[in-house]
Structures are given as C-alpha cells and as structure tokens.
C-alpha cells in the first residue's frame, strides 16, 4: 500500500476516468473507495443526462469531448434523445448568446421559435404563475448514458493496466511527507506522490481531513418516477428554464424533478414535501402530466456536489504540492467525466492540462473577484 504515484479518493465516474487515464500513461494508481462497491455515490443516482447546451466555453467543450468518447464506448449506452430547453422571454436574448457560442465551437444546437416548438411538442407557453415561453433550443447530440456502466468500464480498464481499487476503504487523513503524501485510511497507511480528490459531494470533507479548504458542499436532489406510461412515445429531455422543472422518458416511464436551492447539507432520504412545489410548476406547463401516476418506490434521491459558482474545481491545489482536485461538478459531472480523466492525467504527468484550457475552473478563481458564470445550471 505504498509507493503509488497517484492515490485517488473516490471510485465514482470521475475517480474512475482519472484512474484509467493515469494508468494508461504508466503511472502506479491506487483508488480508495469508502463504499463496498464503486458508483454508489452521486454517479449511481444521477439522471444520466449529457448536453452541450451550456453558456461557458469550458463547460461546452468538456461535455462535447466527453460525449464523443461515450459515443464510441459500448458500456456508455449513449442514446441521443436530445435536450429541449424551453426559454422564457426574460432569458431569451442571453440564451441566444449562449447558442451562438455553442455553434461557434462547432457543437450541434438548433433554435426553434415558439410556433415550431409547439407544433412539435405539447406544452403551454402561457402558464399560470410562470414566465411566458419565448422559444426553444434543441441539442440533437444531447441525450442520456449509463453512468454506472461508464464508471465500471473505466475501472475495469484501469485495473487491467495495473491500477488497484480498495473498496470499503475510507480516506481518514493526509499529511505531506516531503516527497508526497502519507495517507491514513481505515485499511492502514498508504503513501503516494499525488493525492487526487474525486470524492464528489464529500470532497470538502476530504479536504478538511487534509487541513485544506475546498469549497464543495452537498445538496440533496430528488428524482420522481412515474408508473409505466400506457402509450410511451419518444420525448427529448425537456427543461423549462422558467422554473427549472425537467423530465425525460426512462424506458416505459417518465422521470422528473426540480432543484430545491434550500436543500443543502447531508440530508438523507426522499423529501416528499418537495413533490408538490415540483408538480405545481410542472403541471402548469405540461398539464398532460396529470394523467400519469407516481411510483414512489421507483423514485430516488442523491447529492449534487456544489461549489460557490456551480462549476467544478479542476487541477493542482495552489500552494499545496501534490494535491489535485477533480470535484465540485455541481450536478454535471457525468457528462464531463471522460474529458476530465484525460485532463487530470495531463495535469499530473505533463504538469498542466493541455487538451483544454481549464484556467476558468482552477481553484485560483476563488481567490479572484471575477468568476465563471454558467447560466444553464439545472
């Protein structure tokens, strides 16, 4: 348990992608996972959506490059069901700026005016209590993947290249030893040149255990699931940007949700009280949802891992030799994991991520006044 080049904390999709790309470059990699199996954190709880419809170039490209990789990966089970964003009047002009940037970066996204969106799709543009919808945008390459399958596939590849996975092993503390890190775990002492923090919603806590301040906090999110729909038909993942209500098909059912910004901290279990405020806005825009029945037992919850600006923290921790962060994805880590794995391998092996400029996502942004503002956060 000593002499690792890199010790990764967390065997979710991010830790797994990093383990694979680091092992591929010949490094000796260990992965610590507190749970009895991989993908039991947020990765196994996600809504599995991938989309290029972000408003910041770094987020657009992280997702786009990852989608390209998932497209080639059988275990990812990528299905381009599309993402349809319904955009209210007040956000329309800024939203179109985001679309212009997406198109300039070469990613597929189409603008639909209100009439075209309505012909194609059943919603009420004027709904009680909600801002009127002005138009819609559609990402034909956006869709869904199998996050669990991706995570296990990366770990399988990493282990085939010599990486070692320690499940049931909790990271307890770490201190620098002059060459790298001495890491205390529930399985004993490990040593490594680098520690890579991929602990998802627990990344802030992992930082505190190494006496580092890493601004990642948990936020509970609910996914409500209907009973089988009598006549299921194809539907894109749809988000009403006026309320944050989203839904998509899941086999013969629909799943839906809406973020509760007040639901912070490690609260556990389903918050059924959040169903009513979710349905209130959902039914106003999509009245046909009323015909569907809820399946309480098929609904689930998990943690977003949020940072102050809802963007991930990537790369070397300033002033702390040998500590690298890949955490704080704020609800969009599945769709960025593939590219993050490549970038973190470059960051450690070459000293700096090279395939994409990750400056806007580095920890240093919290030391500056100006931060990255991503508008399309759900």
Ligand X SMILES: Cc1cc2nc3c(=O)[nH]c(=O)nc-3n(C[C@H](O)[C@H](O)[C@H](O)COP(=O)(O)OP(=O)(O)OC[C@H]3O[C@@H](n4cnc5c(N)ncnc54)[C@H](O)[C@@H]3O)c2cc1C
Edge-to-edge strands of the sheet including 253-257? Answer: 110-113, 133-139, 83-88, 237-240, 245-250, 253-257, 217-225, 300-306
Q: Which of 6, 7, 8, 15 binds ligand X (CB under 6 A)?
A: 15
Q: Report yes or no: 360 and 343 within 8 Å, Cβ to Cβ.
A: no
Q: What is the C-alpha separation between 149 and 152, in angstroms, rounded?
A: 5
Other Cβ atoms less than 10 A from the Cβ of 213: the count is 10
- Among residues 271 and 364, whose Cβ is nearest to ligand X? 271
Size of the site for ligand X (CB under 6 A): 41
Q: Which of 8, 18, 32, 324 binds ligand X (CB under 6 A)?
A: 32
Strand duo 29-32 + 4-9: pairing = parallel
Q: Report yes or no: 128 and 284 within 8 Å, Cβ to Cβ.
A: yes
- Among residues 127 and 343, whose Cβ is nearest to ligand X? 343
Q: Which of 8, 13, 127, 377 binds ligand X (CB under 6 A)?
A: 13
Interaction between residue 219 and ligand X (CB under 6 A): no
Site stretch for ligand X (CB under 6 A), options 6-14, 103-111, 266-274, 284-292:
6-14
Closest CA to 376 of 46, 147, 71, 96: 96
Q: Report yes or no: 283 and 253 within 8 Å, Cβ to Cβ.
A: no
Q: Which of 82, 88, 135, 200 binds ligand X (CB under 6 A)?
A: 200
Show the binding pattern over residues 46-85: x = contacts ligand X (CB under 6 A), - = does not. xxxx------------------------------------
Site stretch for ligand X (CB under 6 A), options 34-42, 135-143, 314-322, 352-360:
34-42
Site stretch for ligand X (CB under 6 A), options 72-80, 82-90, 95-103, 324-332:
324-332
User: Minimum Å distance from CB 114 to ligand X?
Assistant: 26
Interaction between residue 315 and ligand X (CB under 6 A): no
User: Minimum Å distance from CB 166 to ligand X?
Assistant: 9
Burial (0-12, 13-18, 19+ Cβ within 10 Å), 43:
buried
Q: Which of 181, 303, 323, 363 binds ligand X (CB under 6 A)?
A: 303
Other Cβ atoms less than 10 A from the Cβ of 69: the count is 17
Q: What is the C-alpha separation between 172 and 185, in angstroms, rounded?
A: 5
Q: What are the residues whose beta carbons fall under 8 Å from the beta carbon of 327, sequence distance 6 or more?
A: 14, 197, 198, 199, 200, 203, 214, 216, 305, 312, 313
Interaction between residue 34 and ligand X (CB under 6 A): yes
Q: Which residues bind ligand X (CB under 6 A)?
A: 9-15, 32-35, 40-43, 45-49, 170-171, 198-202, 206, 221, 223, 302-305, 327, 329, 331-335
């Amino acid at each position: 348990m000593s002499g690792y080049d890199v010790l990764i904390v967390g065997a979710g999709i991010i830790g797994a992608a990093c383990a694979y790309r680091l092992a591929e470059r010949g490094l000796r990699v260990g992965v610590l996972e507190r749970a009895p199996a991989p993908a039991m954190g947020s990765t196994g709880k996600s809504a599995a959506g991938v989309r290029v419809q972000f408003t910041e170039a770094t987020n657009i490209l992280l997702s786009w490059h990852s989608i390209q990789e998932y497209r080639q990966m059988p275990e990812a089970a990528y299905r381009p069901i599309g993402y349809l964003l319904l955009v209210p009047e007040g956000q329309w002009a800024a939203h179109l700026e985001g679309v212009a940037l997406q198109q300039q970066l070469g990613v597929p996204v189409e603008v639909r005016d209100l009439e075209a969106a309505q012909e194609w799709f059943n919603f009420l543009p004027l709904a009680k209590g909600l801002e009127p919808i002005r138009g819609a945008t559609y990402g034909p390459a956006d869709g869904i993947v199998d996050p669990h399958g991706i995570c296990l596939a990366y770990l399988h590849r990493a282990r085939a290249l010599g990486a070692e996975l320690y499940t049931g092993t909790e990271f307890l503390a770490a201190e620098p030893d002059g060459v790298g890190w001495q890491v205390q775990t529930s399985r004993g002492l490990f040593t490594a040149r680098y520690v890579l923090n991929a602990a998802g919603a627990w990344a802030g806590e992992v930082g505190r255990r190494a006496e580092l301040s890493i601004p990642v906090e948990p936020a509970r999110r609910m996914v409500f699931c209907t009973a089988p729909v009598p006549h299921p038909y194809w539907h894109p993942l749809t988000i009403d940007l006026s309320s944050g209500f989203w839904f998509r098909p899941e086999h013969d059912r629909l799943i839906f949700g809406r973020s509760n910004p007040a639901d912070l901290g490690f609260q556990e279990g389903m918050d059924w009280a959040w169903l009513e405020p979710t349905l209130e806005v959902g039914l106003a825009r999509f009245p046909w949802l009323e015909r569907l029945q809820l399946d309480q037992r098929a609904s689930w919850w998990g943690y977003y891992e949020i940072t102050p600006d809802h963007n991930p923290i990537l790369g070397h921790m300033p002033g702390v030799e040998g500590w690298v962060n890949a955490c704080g994805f704020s609800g969009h880590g599945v769709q960025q994991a593939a590219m993050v794995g490549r970038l973190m391998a470059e960051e450690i092996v070459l000293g700096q991520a090279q395939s994409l400029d990750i400056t806007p996502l580095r920890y240093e942004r919290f030391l500056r006044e100006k931060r990255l503002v991503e508008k399309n956060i759900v």
